[in-house]
């Protein structure tokens, strides 16, 4: 799914600093990430240097994601959007938060859930933070022996398998990173995945940011 981020791209680097576990610790099988959660993320595009912050509702069971961009008053000439990705219908709605103007755009990338694929390669296990205030995580990638570099790196908490960070590289030129935080299990309001009435007459093209 390139993590939907052709529209909304991404945060931080290919790894998170932490204290590694002792060398030789056994690599476990990938954990099972929660299928439904709400929280926030920061998406960083390494090419443009832009950070995008948003509230996120993730429903892996029904293959849908809602992204609500965070307003930043110091950003000149900036429009803020709500994005509703419905992968069962392969369509994305882009809604102007102020005017409610709506675009309806076909999705071309396949659904790619926020989880650790079964065929992932274990990279490391370590603690993020310091003594008495740390979280243990595992780092996985899609690295394979016949390929020089990985194109995906995912960091997930060891205890409950919450996503912490994911980094994607495409064609060795486009790199995006996503940091996740303040996650809560479940979907508090399923209606956030329902496009507003203005989308009944949606335009077919994507609206510009400014």
Would you say residue 22 lies in a domain? Answer: no
- In this prediction, residue 24 carries a pLDDT of 41
- In this prediction, residue 147 carries a pLDDT of 63
Closest CA to 135 of 144, 149, 125: 125
Domain holding 174: CATH number? 2.50.20.30
- pLDDT band at residue 96, thresholds of 50, 70 and 90? very high
Task: Tell me the average pLDDT across 26-35.
Answer: 83
pTM attached to this predicted model: 0.83
Alpha-carbon distance of 50 to 81, in angstroms, equals: 16
pLDDT higher than 60, residue 3: no
Would you say residue 55 lies in a domain? Answer: yes
Residue 201 dihedral angles phi and psi, to the nearest 5°: -120, 45
- For 201, the 3-state DSSP assignment is helix
Q: Classify residue 60 as exposed, middle or buried by CB count within 10 Å of its CB (0-12, 13-18, 19+).
A: middle
Residue 4 dihedral angles phi and psi, to the nearest 5°: 55, 10
Q: Is 54:85 a contact under the CB 8 Å cutoff?
A: no
Task: Tell me the average pLDDT across 64-79.
Answer: 82
- The sign one gets for the Cα dihedral 29, 143, 166, 14 is positive
Mean pLDDT of the chain: 86
Q: How many domains does the chain have?
A: 1
Q: Is 199:101 a contact under the CB 8 Å cutoff?
A: no
Taking only the tens place, the pLDDT of each residue in 109-143 is 999 999 999 999 999 999 999 988 999 999 999 98
Would you say residue 44 lies in a domain? Answer: yes
User: Which residues constitute the domain of residue 114?
Assistant: 36-201
Q: Is 59:38 a contact under the CB 8 Å cutoff?
A: no
80, two tokens: 């803020």
Would you say residue 21 lies in a domain? Answer: no
Contacts (Cβ under 8 Å, ≥6 apart) of 190:
59
- In this prediction, residue 173 carries a pLDDT of 74
Would you say residue 206 lies in a domain? Answer: no
Contacts (Cβ under 8 Å, ≥6 apart) of 68:
54, 55, 56, 82, 83, 97
């Amino acid at each position: 799914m390139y993590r939907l981020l052709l529209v909304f791209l991404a945060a931080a680097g290919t790894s998170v600093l932490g204290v590694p576990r002792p060398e030789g610790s056994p690599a476990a099988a990938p954990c099972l990430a929660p299928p439904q959660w709400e929280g926030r993320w920061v998406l960083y595009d390494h090419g443009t240097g832009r950070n995008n912050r948003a509230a996120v509702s993730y429903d892996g069971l029904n293959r849908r994601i809602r992204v609500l961009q965070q307003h930043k008053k110091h950003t000149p000439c900036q429009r803020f959007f709500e994005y509703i990705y419905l992968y069962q219908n392969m369509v994305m709605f882009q809604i102007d938060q102020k005017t409610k103007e709506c675009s309806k755009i076909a999705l071309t990338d396949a659904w790619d859930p926020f989880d650790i694929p079964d065929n992932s390669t274990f990279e490391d296990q370590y603690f993020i933070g310091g003594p008495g205030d740390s979280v243990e995580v595992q780092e996985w990638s899609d690295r394979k022996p016949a390929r020089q570099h990985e194109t995906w790196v995912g960091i997930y908490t060891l205890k409950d398998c919450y996503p912490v960070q994911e980094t994607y590289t495409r064609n060795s030129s486009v790199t995006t990173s996503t940091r996740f935080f303040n996650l809560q299990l479940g979907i508090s309001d399923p209606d956030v995945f329902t496009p507003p009435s203005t989308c009944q007459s949606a335009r077919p093209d994507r609206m510009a940011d400014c």
